[in-house]
């Protein structure tokens, strides 16, 4: 009789994908405030870590193809750099409804892991300056901490300088 796969306690597609891949990770949860102006900055403050280690997952459209961009919450996505990183010419932010429908996650909780459809992905090169980074675990108020190299491998991400530091 075949063994049933063990369900992850957090139960998100992101944590399920990490568990299935055998990738080491740590879950961090906090009480999410729906009125928070920035989900990523809220996560950094709630978890007591520098914003440069918390990365947000943004969905853009590069030459009309949805693409994942993973950048620090302390920075802004450079759309031209993203397009160049994935071999495109022009990038714009994706329609939020299309992003939610394609990834299977809600805005503010989009994880780069366990998405419904594998999309081209770029991870800001600044991630490699840290032993671990935090990304959404697929739910507001839930972050996963993992190695940036593991994240890049699991998402087949291109590492490139796609972020501009906020002034």
The predicted-structure confidence for 68-114, as pLDDT tens digits, reads as follows: 999 999 999 999 999 999 999 999 999 999 999 999 999 889 999 99
Per-residue pLDDT, 102: 96
Per-residue pLDDT, 165: 82
- Of 84, 75, 107, 85, the C-alpha closest to 94 is 107
Residue 139 has pLDDT above 50, yes or no: yes
Q: Please state the pTM of the whole predicted model.
A: 0.90
User: Beta 91-93 vs 133-139: how paired, if at all?
Assistant: unpaired
Tens digit of pLDDT for each residue in 1-11?
A: 333 333 344 58
Q: What residues does 133 pair with on adjacent strands? A: 146
| 164/105 Cα distance (integer angstroms) | 25
Mean pLDDT across the stretch 41-61?
A: 92
| Structure tokens that stand for 75 in this block | 């920075």
């Amino acid at each position: 009789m075949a063994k049933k796969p063990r369900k992850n306690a957090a139960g998100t597609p992101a944590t399920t994908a990490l568990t299935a891949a055998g990738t080491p990770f740590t879950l961090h949860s906090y009480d999410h405030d729906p009125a928070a102006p920035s989900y990523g900055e809220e996560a950094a403050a709630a978890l007591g870590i520098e914003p440069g280690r918390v990365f947000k997952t943004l969905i853009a459209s590069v030459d009309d193809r949805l693409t994942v961009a993973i950048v620090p919450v302390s920075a802004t996505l450079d759309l031209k750099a993203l397009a160049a990183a994935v071999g495109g010419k022009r990038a714009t932010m994706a329609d939020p409804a299309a992003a939610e429908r394609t990834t299977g996650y809600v805005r503010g909780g989009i994880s780069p892991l366990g998405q419904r459809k594998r999309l081209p992905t770029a991870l800001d090169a600044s991630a490699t300056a840290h032993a671990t980074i935090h990304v959404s675990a697929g739910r507001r108020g839930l972050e996963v901490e993992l190695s940036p190299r593991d994240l890049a491998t699991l998402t087949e991400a291109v590492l490139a300088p796609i972020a501009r530091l906020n002034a």
